[in-house]
Amino acid sequence: MSQVKEFNDYRTRMNEKIMEADNKVIKRFFNLDTNAYAEGALDVKTKEMLGLACSMVLRCDDCIKYHLGKCFECGLIDEEVYEVFAIANLIGGSIVIPHFRRAVEYWEELKTEGQTQA
């Protein structure tokens, strides 16, 4: 199983489990996240690039994968993604490099899977 499918399946399964708890605070927090990335003064593509850069600086691999998937859906090209990677590495420093490597690997897999589905 590809890491993209594995990540998306796990995320979906666990989000469903979390929502089954029907906790008002958790549901509102998830909704806040959804609304923050919706079209507004900034377009969705820009917001996803910001999310990717912040996730890299915070060194959250799950968040990096999520935002890379969204960036892929928004149609980012390699040059755009690598500019985001560059900014994240500049801001975050060398400690971001291991996450950068995994992000590149995941990006390549997203592109490969996208080509086989087209």
CATH numbers and ranges of domains, the chain: 3-117 (1.20.1290.10)
pTM score: 0.93
Closest CA to 71 of 49, 88, 55: 49
The average confidence (pLDDT) of the chain is: 96
Condensed to tens digits (0 to 9), the pLDDT of residues 50-96 reads 999 999 999 999 999 999 999 999 999 999 999 999 999 999 999 99
With a cut of 70, say whether residue 49 has pLDDT above it: yes
| d(C-alpha 46, C-alpha 49), whole Å | 5
| d(C-alpha 39, C-alpha 46), whole Å | 10
